Structure 1
Amino acid sequence: MYKSGVILNDKGSKYAVSGTRVSDRAGVDAALKQLKREKSYAKATHNTWGVLLPDGTPLKGDDGEAGAGMIILRMLERAELSGELIIVTRWYGGKHLGGDRFRHVQTCVTVYLEAKRDGRE
């Protein structure tokens, strides 16, 4: 599993992106479980995710960050990337970010997609 570590901070909130190849919902569940074995990810406020399964089925999870999973899913669709689970993790810093949180999710997904393209993941 690729893990970026913290890639951005805003008003105390920290964001990271992770991901891996999956072929079905069981693979998604296993990847999320593996990520949350690390204490810092288990304690994160949100682990939002999205994936287009190889058969074209879209799946997403907001984990309390309404709309974040859909952003990830839309970016995967635009990139025409299936079978790739992307997880954006947020550790809440105590101040609401409003719409900026969606921009941060986009930034994280872009970092993942660039790492994938460059062979770093």
Structure 2
Amino acid sequence: MLENIISDRGSRYAVSGGPCTSDEEARAFIKELRRYRKFAKATHNSWALLCCEGALKNDDGEAGAGLVILRMLEREGLRDHIVVVTRWFGGKNLGGDRFRHVQEAVRVYLAAL
């Protein structure tokens, strides 16, 4: 779990992930992540996963974020590993910058693997 990696106009981002091989495991991972009070209060926990069930993603209200994560996992060839980008909304709309921040968060995570 890498916290406070990006901050922009009050919004803060974190990224986390781990081994995961199914939609059921992905939902369990998110449930476990939300057990941490800080992550339970997050505005969005967007995630993606490439596994034997196919390409899975969830925007969690951050429209398009799951697809951004998924495309990066496909390019990297990372399978059976969930990546979650968490955002705490800071009160100001970030527009297209939010996608840049999601990409940067995933890059930071992949570099730390």
Fold match by TM threshold 0.5:
yes
Q: Percent of aligned positions with the same letter in both sequences?
A: 54
**Cα deviation, residue 56, structure 1:** 6.0
Question: Of 31, 34, 54, which aligns to 1:33?
Answer: 31
- Residues in 1 aligned to 2:8 and 2:34: alpha-carbon distance in whole angstroms: 23
* Runs (5+) with no aligned partner, structure 2: none
Question: Aligned in 2, Cα 1:71/1:105: closer, same or farther, shift over 3 Å?
Answer: same
Deviation of the 1:5 alpha carbon: 1.1
Please state how far the C-alpha of 1:66 moved relative to its aligned partner: 0.3
How many residues get paired? 113
| Matching residue's letter, 1:42 | A
Runs (5+) with no aligned partner, structure 1: 117-121
Structure 1 residue 25 displacement after superposition:
1.2
Cα distance in 1, alignment partners of residues 25 and 44 from structure 2: 19
1:119 paired residue number: none
Residue 23 of structure 1, CA deviation: 1.1
Q: CA deviation at 1:24?
A: 1.1
Instruction: Look up the equivalent residue of 1:28 and give its one-letter code.
Output: A
Residues 56 and 82, structure 1, Cα contact 8 Å, conserved in 2? no
Deviating 4+ runs (over 6 angstroms): none
Pair 1:78-2:75 in alignment: yes
Amino acid across the alignment from 1:107: E
Residues 67-104 of structure 1, C-alpha deviations (whole Å, 9 max, x = no match): 00000000000001100100000000000000000000
